[in-house]
């Protein structure tokens, strides 16, 4: 009798090579499924079980997940864009033009990167307000909220530094307007402004600095803090538990529980 695809997959999972890569072993028991999370370097940031109520759409609107999604899209489109881009004046603008008109799917890559970046800024704000209105910043999740604020700032900086890279009029003057605000800081304003731009005005040095920040420093910082952000969800006991919910929500869930018991 011919083997089914599932059987071939089962056989594959029994091989010595597969077993050497995935330590958790095969099978679909609860233990094996828990191990699939716990024994994986990336997935072990998450807990092995999640409260069903937290998975309903209304609990989170999946805003955190979607923010991660935009970040993944931005990495996936950003790396190919880097292959066609020189952070120098005026080559940067010519490269952007080439992306639009010469590179295969260059226009699509740039469009997707840009719209995803706007979507990420929007989703980060939405996520923050949703978490606030659900009261999910309460004990023991205080510090994860603080990390979230840090991630909000990193997101804004990522978007802001990326804004300069096409080196067109829109980019140049948006960064000029924004960076002039830094000069308003009392006492050290001019020094901060100079440090940010590598000069007194937006020029080739500023482009290089923004490029390094945008492609290197800020993404690494984001990944670092996102890892802590996810890990803290597990350490703080899941998305949010009874004790941290507002009294009204707690009462509502108690009523629901009582109704279920009565049935």
List the one residue out of 203, 211, 205 whose CA is nearest residue 96: 211
236-to-72, 129, 261 alpha-carbon distances in Å: 25, 20, 28
**Of 24-83, which residues contact another protein (CB under 8 A)?**
30, 33-34, 36-37, 43, 46-53, 55, 62, 65-66, 68-70, 72-73
> Could you tell me the smallest distance in angstroms from the CB atom of residue 63 to another protein?
10
Q: Which is nearer to another protein, 36 or 226 (CB)?
A: 36
**Cα end-to-end span (Å), the chain:** 49
> Could you tell me the smallest distance in angstroms from the CB atom of residue 2 to another protein?
27
Binding residues for another protein, how many (CB under 8 A)? 86
Q: Is 209 in the site for another protein (CB under 8 A)?
A: no
Q: How many CB atoms neighbour CB 195 within 10 A?
A: 11
Q: Is 9 in the site for another protein (CB under 8 A)?
A: no
- Member of 178, 198, 208, 219 binding another protein (CB under 8 A): 178
> Could you tell me the smallest distance in angstroms from the CB atom of residue 230 to another protein?
11
d(CA 77, CA 109): 6
Stretch near another protein under the rule CB under 8 A, chosen from 14-22, 209-217, 221-229, 244-252: 244-252
Q: Is 93 in the site for another protein (CB under 8 A)?
A: yes
User: Burial code of 126-147, b = ≥16 C-beta within 10 A, e = fewer?
Assistant: ebbebbeebebbeeebeebbeb
Site string for another protein, 110-149 (x = CB under 8 A): xxxxxxx-xx-x---x--xx--xx-x-xxx-xx--xx--x
Q: How many CB atoms neighbour CB 16 within 10 A?
A: 6
- Helix pair angle (142-164, 218-235), 10° resolution: 160
Q: Which is nearer to another protein, 173 or 224 (CB)?
A: 173
List the one residue out of 66, 65, 77, 228 whose CA is nearest residue 143: 228
d(CA 18, CA 21): 5
- Member of 201, 220, 227, 252 binding another protein (CB under 8 A): 201
> Could you tell me the smallest distance in angstroms from the CB atom of residue 1 to another protein?
28
> Could you tell me the smallest distance in angstroms from the CB atom of residue 87 to another protein?
13
């Amino acid at each position: 009798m011919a083997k089914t695809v599932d059987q071939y997959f089962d056989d594959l999972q029994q091989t010595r090579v597969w077993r050497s890569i995935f330590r958790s072993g095969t099978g679909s028991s609860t233990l094996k499924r828990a191990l699939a999370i716990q024994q994986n370097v990336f997935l072990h940031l998450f807990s092995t079980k999640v409260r069903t109520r937290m998975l309903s759409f209304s609990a989170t609107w999946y805003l955190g997940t979607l923010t991660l999604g935009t970040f993944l899209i931005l990495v996936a489109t950003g790396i190919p864009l880097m292959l066609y881009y020189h952070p120098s004046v005026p080559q940067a603008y010519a490269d952007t033009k080439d992306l639009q008109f010469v590179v295969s799917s260059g226009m699509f890559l740039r469009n997707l990167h840009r719209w995803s970046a706007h979507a990420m800024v929007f989703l980060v704000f939405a996520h923050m307000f949703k978490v606030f209105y659900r009261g999910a910043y309460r004990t023991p999740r205080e510090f994860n909220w603080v990390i979230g604020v840090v991630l909000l700032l990193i997101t804004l900086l990522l978007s802001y530094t990326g804004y300069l890279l096409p080196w067109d009029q829109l980019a140049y003057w948006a960064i000029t307007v924004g960076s002039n605000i830094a000069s308003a800081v009392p006492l050290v304003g001019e020094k901060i402004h100079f440090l940010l731009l590598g000069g007194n005005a937006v020029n080739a040095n500023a482009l290089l600095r923004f490029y390094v920040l945008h492609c290197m420093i800020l993404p690494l910082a984001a990944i670092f803090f996102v890892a802590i952000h996810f890990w803290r969800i597990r350490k703080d006991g899941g998305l949010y538990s009874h004790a941290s919910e507002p009294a009204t929500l707690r009462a509502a869930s108690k009523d629901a529980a009582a109704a279920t018991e009565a049935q």
